[in-house]
Amino acid sequence: MEEIKDKTASTKARKTPTKIKNSATKCFLGSNNGTFLARLVLGLLLIFLVLTLTGFEFRWEKSFPFWSFQRKNISTEKSNQNSSLPKDLLNSAPLSTNLQEEEDLTVSVVEKYSPAVVSIIISKDMPKFEQYSFNPFGFDPFFDGGSGFFDDFFGQEMPNPNGRGNNNGGTEKVEIGGGTGFIVSKDGMIVTNKHVVSDDKAEYTVILSDGKKYSAKVLGRARNTDVAVIKIDPQNPQEGEGAKELETVALGDSSKVKIGQTAIAIGNALGEFRNTVSKGIVSGLSRNITAGGNGGAEELDQLIQTDAAINQGNSGGPLINLKGEVIGINVAIAAGAQNIGFAIPINSVKNIIQSVTEKGKISQPYIGVRYAIINKEIKERNNLPFDYGALVVRGEQLTDLAVIPGSPADKAGLAENDIILEVDGKKIDEKNSLVKIISELEVGQEIELKVWRKGEIKSFKLKIEEAPQSE
């Protein structure tokens, strides 16, 4: 029995270290296992570092209790980090996800309405002169040197633009200018600028987008704005077969135009590049300018300003929104500036189109005064009692009387230096000019004017008449 007890004891003695060893394994790393786990952890850290450097983002998913990773947009993040904008603003800023949609709309509008945009060529009988050839670079040996290069390039019979020869008698048809217009009716009615078709002695040729040419007749020129209406016979081109059906534009509502919205201009740029398209935005509203051209000047107000490129030759062309609606007629550019063009709001043209459609001529309401809109600057400079209203004044020429003799204003008793404050209760100011208010009235309508004269407020009643046809 003692021997058995001894074995038992020795067995326990041998097992005890085993238990200690096993329990120690749970608390400490042994030499072999510790090396394996260390390598595992280091490997995981290395993988984590590599994934981070290559643009992966680690995040904790609440819906599933494990770490997950996804690829980051490195370029976007870097641009955001370099930006000085607040982080919240960057995160909420709209992305350019609609650029393709806007491009598609632009292409669609241009394809649909370009056929309704026409080029207008101005021709006139001019005295016929003999032509002399010349070297455009004079006698500079660098450009000539006896090589005959410019003779080959320009031809032997190049006309001299600086000095014509002797008049050999007779006349010849010469293109003297060009502009743009757009078709508003299937029977050939076209809207353009008045200054494009201002010469009664000139001939006007309309060229469609397909190259067909038509002789055009001027139906009317507006008196108080730079708008004219001409007409072609679709069935009677100068050459070839007539058009089966003319494409027309859709007219929009210029009162709904907003600054910043897209604007597309189509026109006969420089009188040479037909159906040229440019795109920009509406950069201003209610602009008042003095536009000069053809030896004269004209006051234009309530214009739409755009940075869409408008060049010489674009006059009379449409300014179109992304819905494919005409919102204005391109009319002028700012001299000495870049990308500042102006268009007449289409709403002020709709009554002209309607008048020509119904009466065959432009019938416009008219009271017969020349005026200047008063603002704060004009009030202070001239010590006037109001910073709004229309000051009745003479024009630049001695014959430009303030009140037109025999006009409704003359019959009612208005005089130079009167200030017209209101028309039927509507206040006159820079955003609501006298021309704009009168243009919305009907011929034959009776109105009441609130007028300041020499320190007194007076009322004048008059009857709207039809404006004389513009010369």
- Tens of pLDDT, residue by residue over 287-320, are 877 766 554 566 787 899 999 888 778 889 999 9
pLDDT above 50 for 73: no
pLDDT above 50 for 19: no
Same domain? For 118 and 214 the reply is yes
Which candidate, 250, 249, 229, places its Cα nearest to that of 355? Answer: 229
Same domain? For 339 and 415 the reply is no
Same domain? For 380 and 461 the reply is yes
Residue 48 lies in a domain: no
Residue 427 lies in a domain: yes
Q: What is the pLDDT of residue 91?
A: 47
pLDDT above 80 for 116: yes
Q: What is the pLDDT of residue 27?
A: 36
Angle at the Cα of 406 from the Cα atoms of 401 and 407, rounded to 5 degrees: 75
Give me the sign of the Cα torsion angle 352, 353, 358, 360.
positive
Same domain? For 261 and 202 the reply is no
User: For 201-215, 268-282, 452-466, which range has the lowest pLDDT when averaged over its residues?
Assistant: 268-282
Which candidate, 312, 278, 273, 292, places its Cα nearest to that of 396? Answer: 292
Residue 53: pLDDT band (50, 70, 90) is low
Give the C-alpha separation, 344 to 396, whole Å: 24
Section 249-256 average pLDDT: 92
Same domain? For 215 and 293 the reply is no
Residue 35: pLDDT band (50, 70, 90) is confident
In the numeric block, which tokens belong to residue 361?
């001529």
Instruction: Identify which has the larger pLDDT, 7 or 42.
Output: 42
Q: What is the pLDDT of residue 68?
A: 41
What are the catalytic residues? Answer: 195, 226, 315
Contact by Cβ (8 Å): 69, 59: yes
Check which CATH number belongs to the domain holding 459 and give it.
Answer: 2.30.42.10
Same domain? For 342 and 431 the reply is no
Q: What is the pLDDT of residue 241?
A: 84
Residues 6+ apart with CB under 8 A from 395: 370, 401
Residue 418 lies in a domain: yes
Instruction: Identify which has the larger pLDDT, 65 or 419.
Output: 419
User: For 165-174, 417-426, 455-464, which range has the lowest pLDDT when averaged over its residues?
Assistant: 165-174
Residue 459: pLDDT band (50, 70, 90) is very high
| Torsion angle in degrees (nearest 10) through CA of 82, 83, 88, 93 | -120
Same domain? For 266 and 345 the reply is yes
Instruction: Identify which has the larger pLDDT, 220 or 45.
Output: 220
Same domain? For 214 and 262 the reply is no
Residue 31 lies in a domain: no
CB neighbour burial string for 241-273, b if at least 16 within 10 angstroms, e if fewer? eebeebbbbebbebeebeeeebbbbbbbbebee
Q: What is the pLDDT of residue 79?
A: 46
User: Pick from 178, 198, 231: which residue ends a domain?
Assistant: 231
Instruction: Identify which has the larger pLDDT, 218 or 245.
Output: 218
Tokens 């020509």 sit on residue: 356
Residue 65 lies in a domain: no
Q: What is the pLDDT of residue 174?
A: 82
pLDDT above 80 for 170: no
How far apart are the two ends of the chain, measured CA to CA in Å?
145
Which candidate, 277, 272, 280, 329, places its Cα nearest to that of 303? Answer: 329
Q: What is the pLDDT of residue 169?
A: 61
User: Pick from 355, 386, 406: which residue ends a domain?
Assistant: 355
pLDDT above 60 for 20: no
Residue 407 lies in a domain: yes
Domain coverage including residue 401: 365-466
Residue 69 lies in a domain: no
Q: What's the Cα-to-Cα distance from 139 to each of 144, 148, 149, 185, rounded to whole Å?
A: 7, 12, 13, 55
Residue percentage of the chain with pLDDT more than 70:
71
Give the C-alpha separation, 142 to 140, whole Å: 5
Q: Determine which helix (DSSP H) or strand (DSSP E) holds 419, and give its type and residue range.
A: strand 419-423
Which candidate, 285, 280, 288, 286, places its Cα nearest to that of 261? Answer: 280
Same domain? For 124 and 215 the reply is yes
Number of residues that this document lists for the chain? 471
pLDDT tens digits, one per residue of 378-411: 899 888 899 999 999 988 777 889 999 999 999 9
Same domain? For 395 and 458 the reply is yes
Check which CATH number belongs to the domain holding 221 and give it.
Answer: 2.40.10.10
pTM of the predicted model as reported, rounded to 2 decimal places: 0.63
Q: What is the pLDDT of residue 149?
A: 32
Residue 216: pLDDT band (50, 70, 90) is very high
Q: What is the pLDDT of residue 435?
A: 85
Same domain? For 334 and 409 the reply is no
pLDDT above 80 for 50: no
Indicate the number of domains in the chain. Answer: 3
Q: What is the pLDDT of residue 84?
A: 53
- Most confident range (mean pLDDT) of 3-17, 92-106, 305-319 is 305-319
Section 360-384 average pLDDT: 88
In the numeric block, which tokens belong to residue 301?
């107000």
Residue 393 lies in a domain: yes
User: Pick from 355, 387, 417: which residue ends a domain?
Assistant: 355
Same domain? For 262 and 334 the reply is yes
